[in-house]
């Protein structure tokens, strides 16, 4: 593109006044030119600045979620409390009151605390879910029973926020969720080296929970995975078949025109409308259960289908006609020419489009809200027919939760989602690059 400003042309006007006037106009036009250019640059920079701001805030919010405050306690795993009959029966072991054992350990740690109200505040320092972790450890190793063991137990989310510096210790007591007495205990624990931030593995291996410190994205990731599986299994074959028909077989008539216009329009229909369709069709009419990845996958299939079709058609048109003609020339039928010769060449392009469609489906949440995938699901689904959450919906739910500790978890879940999207898109780009080199 020509990037040179027009230079001063030969003066046309002869009089000095006219020449000065011309010079002024030219200067003004050149100023306008640079202003316009600056505006364009600003627009680009504004977009990029937002992107940078967005990622910086996100990462700034998120990184603390990958650590979790733990408290070191000496828990007396007394046989009388866990297994009074000494049978080591797993059911008996599973039913024991582990949270009570943790409370006893806290009492031993702070023998001075005796009043009931104070004790309740003391017990609130450890997560209400810590007992489950303790139970898991005891079940895995029943030999621990009867011993006094040191355990790192998850701290409550308020303690976690305090340790991570999201709560101001010097603020007046009424503005903190941790009161002065609790703060003193925490400082004692800190001084004894009994408080530590450790890697938050729970975030990756557990399902949703009302307690931020116990919540994780496993169930949401599994739900999204099953949903994408359904979407992929349906939208790829359907999309490719449609593309092949429209590109290679369809007669040029009004019906074909209608199908084409319709596909382009479907690609621009708001996603929430697909959710309405899913609700009315799959749930009300077909009676499929709510909150299951199968229904979510079906809805997302209908939504991604236009994307896949459009990409697959583009891939088919980019195959040179000589390939088709050569195959037909040596006696292949039209089907054979397409499936044996054109398809292999178009496949990378089709796959690229499908991956991009899948990435869009992965990030979509509005239609899932419509089909009831916003339920509070703790269990990790084991098949596409189990109720489950989905990663973007989990983000939506956490973003709505009032606890401060969910802010960092939401951001961390977003980072995980973006990481998945990045991997998918990078895969698509790599595929395209390789394909272009060969093609």
Partner 1 sequence: MPPYTALIILLALTVLGYWLGRRRPAAFGRKYHSLPGYYGSYVAIWCVFPALALYCLWQLVEPGFIRSQVLATLPAELLELPEAELGLIYNDIRNLVEGNIVSGAPGEEIIAAASRYTALQRMSNLGIALAVLVAGLASSGWALRRVKPTLRARNKVERTLRMLLMAASTVAIFTTIGIFLSVLFEAIQFFQLVSPLEFLFGLSWSPQTAIRPDQVGSSGAFGAVPLFTGTLLISGLALLVAVPVGLLSAIYLSEYANARIRAIAKPMLEVLAGIPTVVYGYFAALTVGPLLRQFGEAFGLGVSSESALGAGLVMGIMIIPFVSSLSDDVINAVPQDLRDGSLALGATQSETIRQVLIPAALPGIVGGILLAASRAIGETMIVVMAAGLAANLTANPLEAVTTVTVQMVTLLIGDQEFDSAKTLAAFALGLLLFVTTLALNVVALRVVRRYREQYE
Q: Say how far apart CA 111 and CA 65 lie, in whole Å.
A: 33
User: Which CB, 226 or 406, lies closer to partner 1?
Assistant: 406
**Which residue from 393, 405, 412, 416 is in contact with partner 1, where contact means CB under 8 A?**
393
User: Which CB, 113 or 277, lies closer to partner 1?
Assistant: 277
User: Which CB, 178 or 305, lies closer to partner 1?
Assistant: 305
Q: Say how far apart CA 300 and CA 13 lie, in whole Å.
A: 68
Q: Which residue has the tokens 């079940």?
A: 139
Stretch 199-238 residues interacting with partner 1 (CB under 8 A): 237-238
**Which residue from 195, 232, 309, 342 is in contact with partner 1, where contact means CB under 8 A?**
309
Q: Does 263 bind partner 1 (CB under 8 A)?
A: yes
Residues in the chain: 439
DSSP 102-149: HHHHHHHH-TT--SHHHHHHHHTTB-TTHHHHHHHHHHH-GGGTTSEE
Q: Does 298 bind partner 1 (CB under 8 A)?
A: no
Cβ 231 vs Cβ 361: under 8 Å: yes
Cβ 293 vs Cβ 226: under 8 Å: yes
Q: Does 258 bind partner 1 (CB under 8 A)?
A: yes
Stretch 44-103 residues interacting with partner 1 (CB under 8 A): 44, 46-48, 50-51, 54, 57-58
Q: Does 350 bind partner 1 (CB under 8 A)?
A: no
**Largest pairwise CA distance in the chain:** 116
Q: What is the DSSP letter of 253?
A: S
Stretch 12-51 residues interacting with partner 1 (CB under 8 A): 29-30, 32-33, 35-37, 39-44, 46-48, 50-51
Q: How many CB atoms lie within 10 A of CB 72?
A: 16
Stretch 402-431 residues interacting with partner 1 (CB under 8 A): 407, 410-411, 414, 417-418, 421, 425
**Which residue from 142, 146, 289, 363 is in contact with partner 1, where contact means CB under 8 A?**
363
Q: Say how far apart CA 224 and CA 388 lie, in whole Å.
A: 9
**Which residue from 133, 156, 160, 364 is in contact with partner 1, where contact means CB under 8 A?**
364
Q: Does 280 bind partner 1 (CB under 8 A)?
A: yes
User: Which CB, 188 or 336, lies closer to partner 1?
Assistant: 336
Q: Does 395 bind partner 1 (CB under 8 A)?
A: yes
Question: What stretch of H or E contains 429?
Answer: helix 405-438
Min dist CB 389 to partner 1, Å, is: 13
Q: Say how far apart CA 179 and CA 305 lie, in whole Å.
A: 55
User: Which CB, 124 or 266, lies closer to partner 1?
Assistant: 266
Q: Which of 5, 6, 70, 81 is nearest to 37 (CA)?
A: 5
Stretch 119-178 residues interacting with partner 1 (CB under 8 A): none
Task: Pick the stretch among 134-142, 155-163, 314-322, 388-396 that binds partner 1 (CB under 8 A).
Answer: 388-396
User: Which CB, 50 or 63, lies closer to partner 1?
Assistant: 50
Q: Which of 270, 249, 364, 231 is nearest to 313 (CA)?
A: 249
Residue 390 DSSP SS3: coil
């Amino acid at each position: 593109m020509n990037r040179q400003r027009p230079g001063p042309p030969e003066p046309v006007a002869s009089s000095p006044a006219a020449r000065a006037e011309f010079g002024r106009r030219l200067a003004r036009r050149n100023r306008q030119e640079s202003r316009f250019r600056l505006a364009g640059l600003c627009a680009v920079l504004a977009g990029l600045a937002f992107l940078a701001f967005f990622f910086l805030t996100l990462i700034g919010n998120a990184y603390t979620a990958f650590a979790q405050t733990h408290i070191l306690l000496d828990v007396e795993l007394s046989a009388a409390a866990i297994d009074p009959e000494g049978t080591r029966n797993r059911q008996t072991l599973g039913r024991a009151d582990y949270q009570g054992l943790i409370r006893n350990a806290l009492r031993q740690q702070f023998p001075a605390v005796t009043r009931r109200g104070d004790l309740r505040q003391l017990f609130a320092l450890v997560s209400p879910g810590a007992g489950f972790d303790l139970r898991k450890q005891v079940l895995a190793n029943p030999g621990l029973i009867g011993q006094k063991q040191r355990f790192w137990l998850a701290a409550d989310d308020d303690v976690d926020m305090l340790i991570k510096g999201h709560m101001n210790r010097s603020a007046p007591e009424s503005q903190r969720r941790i009161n002065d007495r609790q703060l003193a205990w925490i400082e004692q624990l800190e001084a004894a080296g009994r408080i530590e931030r450790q890697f938050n593995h729970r975030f990756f291996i557990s399902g949703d929970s009302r307690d931020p410190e116990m919540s994780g994205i496993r169930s949401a990731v599994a739900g999204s995975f099953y949903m994408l599986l359904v979407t992929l299994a349906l939208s790829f074959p359907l999309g490719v078949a449609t593309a092949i028909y429209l590109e290679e077989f369809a007669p040029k008539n009004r019906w074909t025109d209608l199908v084409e216009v319709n596909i382009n329009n479907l690609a621009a229909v708001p996603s929430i409308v697909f959710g309405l369709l899913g609700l009315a069709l799959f749930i009300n009419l077909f009676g499929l259960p709510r909150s299951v990845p199968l229904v979510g996958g079906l809805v997302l299939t209908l939504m991604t289908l236009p994307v896949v079709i459009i990409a697959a058609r583009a891939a088919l048109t980019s195959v040179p006609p000589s390939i088709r003609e050569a195959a037909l020339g040596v006696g292949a039928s039209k089907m054979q020419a397409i499936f044996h010769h054109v398809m292999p060449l178009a496949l990378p392009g089709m796959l690229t489009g499908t991956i991009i469609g899948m990435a869009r489906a992965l990030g979509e949440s509005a239609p899932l809200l419509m089909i009831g995938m916003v339920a509070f699901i703790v269990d990790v689904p084991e098949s596409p027919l189990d109720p489950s959450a989905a990663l973007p919906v989990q983000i939506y739910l956490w973003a709505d939760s009032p606890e401060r500790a969910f802010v960092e978890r939401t951001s961390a879940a977003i980072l995980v989602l973006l990481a998945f999207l990045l991997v998918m898109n990078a895969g698509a780009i790599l595929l395209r690059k390789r394909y272009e080199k060969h093609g």
